[in-house]
Amino acid sequence: MSANSGNSEVLLRMEGIHKWFGKVHALKGVDFEVKKGEVVGLVGDNGAGKSTLIKVISGYHRANEGKIYWVGQEVKISSPKDSRALGVETLYQEQALAPHLSIARNVFMGREPSRALGFMDKQTMNNDSMEALAAIGLHLRSPDVMVSTLSGGERQGVAIARAIHFEAKMVILDEPTIALSVKEVQEVLDFVQELKEKGIAVIFITHNLYHVYSVADRIVVIAHGQELANMQTKDTSVDQISKIIVRGTLGEEV
């Protein structure tokens, strides 16, 4: 029944994933694996297939071929709803939050608690959203604050607090540090550490190798729709990964 290779800790396992967009072969049989509580850095050049792979996991794209296993069970992910039901939270840059809504309304977007007669339980929304933020070390003034008035790092924090509050098993961060100041980047990397400590797996997609190197357990390089390298962070260096990406090969001579 279990398809994983005897490793009970595997959370997500993808085998032979193919994806075509018309004539474009975006993913050419990718195998990808994430263990429970593991932080995986997903890197590669523009158009390498990183986002396509992520969108297959989050249910925005359906793979044309291949199998997906979740904790050893084969699953079909055909909509964001399916992905979310498994416990996957995908945080796309600038797409995770509604900027003109309050923190509380964002944290509970689509999952608003309700009381008798279907009224939103604003009290619970306010208290729980503040608690969730405090749990990752973010102390904001009020749950009524509009998200657009927060800093970039704080916004990522709201999205991550939401993932933790709803007990996500895996969080996908798509370029979470792009366009952030140095201080805010550090905040976001701390949030990732927080997720890891809570046993939540993270897929961290980025162009910035230094950011990913400091938090990832493992780094996967994708090029031309295929996995090019898959290394434990401790066995590699930023320099080596960067060479692999630039050359587009494993670079045996290194």
Partner 1 sequence: MNNDNRIMGFLSRNRIAGTVVILIAVVVVATFRSPDNNFIRVANLKNLGAFGSEFGIVALGVGLLMIAGEFDLSVGSVLAFCALVFTWSNELSLNPFIGLLITLAAGVITGLTNGLITVRGKIVSFITTLGAMMFWRGLTLWLSRGEMRAVNLDAYPAFTSLFTGDWFGFFPAQAFWFLLLAVILTILLHFRRFGNWIFSTGDNALAARSMAINTDRVKITSFIIVGVLVAFAAVIQTTRLSAFSSRVGTGWELSAIAAAVVGGTSLRGGIGNMVGIFMGALIIIVIENALVLARLPYEWTYMAFGLVILFSVLLDLLIERRIQRAST
Where does this chain bind partner 1 (CB under 8 A)?
Answer: 58, 80-81, 84, 90, 92, 95-101, 105, 108-112, 114, 118-120, 122, 144-146, 148-151
**Do residues 12 and 33 lie in contact, with contact meaning Cβ atoms separated by under 8 Å?**
yes
Residue 3 C-beta: closest distance to partner 1, Å: 27
DSSP E strands, 181-250: 201-205, 218-223, 226-232
Question: What is the Cα Rg of the chain in Å?
Answer: 19
Residue 209 C-beta: closest distance to partner 1, Å: 27
Side by side, the strands of the sheet bearing 218-223 are 88-92, 170-174, 201-205, 39-43, 218-223, 226-232
The residue (of 125 and 229) whose beta carbon lies closer to partner 1 is 125
Residue 153 C-beta: closest distance to partner 1, Å: 12
Residue 89 C-beta: closest distance to partner 1, Å: 9
Phi, psi of 12, deg, nearest 5: -125, 135
Please report the sign of the dihedral spanned by the C-alpha atoms of residue 51, residue 52, residue 57, residue 59: positive
* DSSP designation for 234: G
Tokens of 56: 């297959």
Looking at residue 100, its amino acid is H
The residue (of 3 and 98) whose beta carbon lies closer to partner 1 is 98
The residue (of 76 and 247) whose beta carbon lies closer to partner 1 is 76
The residue (of 155 and 211) whose beta carbon lies closer to partner 1 is 155
Residue 72 C-beta: closest distance to partner 1, Å: 24
Q: Which distant-in-sequence residues (6+ apart) come within 8 Å of 16 by Cβ?
A: 29, 30, 31, 65, 66, 67
Q: List residues bridging with 70 in a β-sheet.
A: 12, 73
**Do residues 211 and 190 lie in contact, with contact meaning Cβ atoms separated by under 8 Å?**
no
The residue (of 143 and 225) whose beta carbon lies closer to partner 1 is 143
